[in-house]
Amino acid sequence: MTDLLSIGDAESLRGLLPGRLFLPGDDGYDAACRPWNLAAVLGPAAVALPESVADVQAIVKAATAAGLRIAPMSTGHAGSLLAATDLSRTVLVHLSRLTGVTVDREARTARVTGGSLWIDVLAAAGPHGLTALHGSSGDVAVAGFALSGGMSFYGRRHGLAANSVRAVELVTADGAPRRVSADEDDDLFWALRGGSGNFGVVTAIELDLLPYADVFAGMMLWDRARAAEVMHAWRDFTLDAPESVTTSFRVMSLPPLPDLPPFLSGRDVVVIDGAVLESDERAARLLAPLRDLMPEVDTFGRIPTIDLLAMHMDPPEPTPAVSDHTILAALPDAAIEAFLAQVGPGTRSGLLFAELRQLGGEFARPAEGGGAISHVDGGYALYAIAVAPTPEAAEAGGAAASALARALEPWAQPHSLLLTFCEHPVTAAEAYGDSFERLLLTASRVDPNGVFQAGHGIR
Ligand X SMILES: Cc1cc2nc3c(=O)[nH]c(=O)nc-3n(C[C@H](O)[C@H](O)[C@H](O)COP(=O)(O)OP(=O)(O)OC[C@H]3O[C@@H](n4cnc5c(N)ncnc54)[C@H](O)[C@@H]3O)c2cc1C
Interface contacts to ligand X, rule CB under 6 A:
72-79, 81-82, 95, 114-115, 135-137, 140-141, 143-145, 148, 150-151, 196-197, 201-202, 314-315, 420-421, 454-455
Q: Is 368 exposed, middle or buried (CB count within 10 Å of its CB: 0-12, 13-18, 19+)?
A: exposed
- The sign of the torsion formed by the CA atoms of 138, 131, 110, 156 equals positive
Q: Closer to ligand X at the Cβ: 145 or 300? A: 145
Q: Closer to ligand X at the Cβ: 151 or 440? A: 151
Are 99 and 114 contacting, i.e. CB atoms less than 8 angstroms apart?
yes
From the list 246, 170, 169, 161, the residue with the least C-alpha distance to 209 is 161
Q: Closer to ligand X at the Cβ: 195 or 344? A: 195
Distances (CA, A) of 50 to 77, 114, 159: 19, 9, 32
Residue sitting closest to ligand X (CB): 144
Q: Closer to ligand X at the Cβ: 28 or 318? A: 318
Distances (CA, A) of 60 to 65, 276, 301, 308, 451: 8, 44, 48, 37, 9
Tell me the closest approach of the beta carbon of residue 333 to ligand X, in angstroms: 27
Tell me the closest approach of the beta carbon of residue 337 to ligand X, in angstroms: 27
Q: Cβ of 189: how many Cβ atoms within 10 Å? A: 21
From the list 309, 313, 314, 287, the residue with the least C-alpha distance to 298 is 287
Q: Closer to ligand X at the Cβ: 73 or 417? A: 73
Give, in degrees to the nearest 5, the angle at Cα 191 between 190 and 194: 100
Between CA 390 and CA 395 the distance in angstroms is 9
Strands (E), 292-395: 297-298, 301-304, 321-328, 353-358, 380-387
Q: Closer to ligand X at the Cβ: 302 or 424? A: 424
Distances (CA, A) of 283 to 279, 310, 313: 6, 20, 22
Tell me the closest approach of the beta carbon of residue 297 to ligand X, in angstroms: 21
Give, in degrees to the nearest 5, the angle at Cα 275 between 271 and 279: 130
Tell me the closest approach of the beta carbon of residue 155 to ligand X, in angstroms: 9
Q: Closer to ligand X at the Cβ: 237 or 421? A: 421
Tell me the closest approach of the beta carbon of residue 424 to ligand X, in angstroms: 12
Query: Could you tell me if residue 271 is left (phi over 0), alpha (psi between -120 and 50 degrees) or otherwise beta?
Result: beta
Q: Closer to ligand X at the Cβ: 159 or 197? A: 197
Tell me the closest approach of the beta carbon of residue 137 to ligand X, in angstroms: 4
Tell me the closest approach of the beta carbon of residue 139 to ligand X, in angstroms: 8
Tell me the closest approach of the beta carbon of residue 418 to ligand X, in angstroms: 6
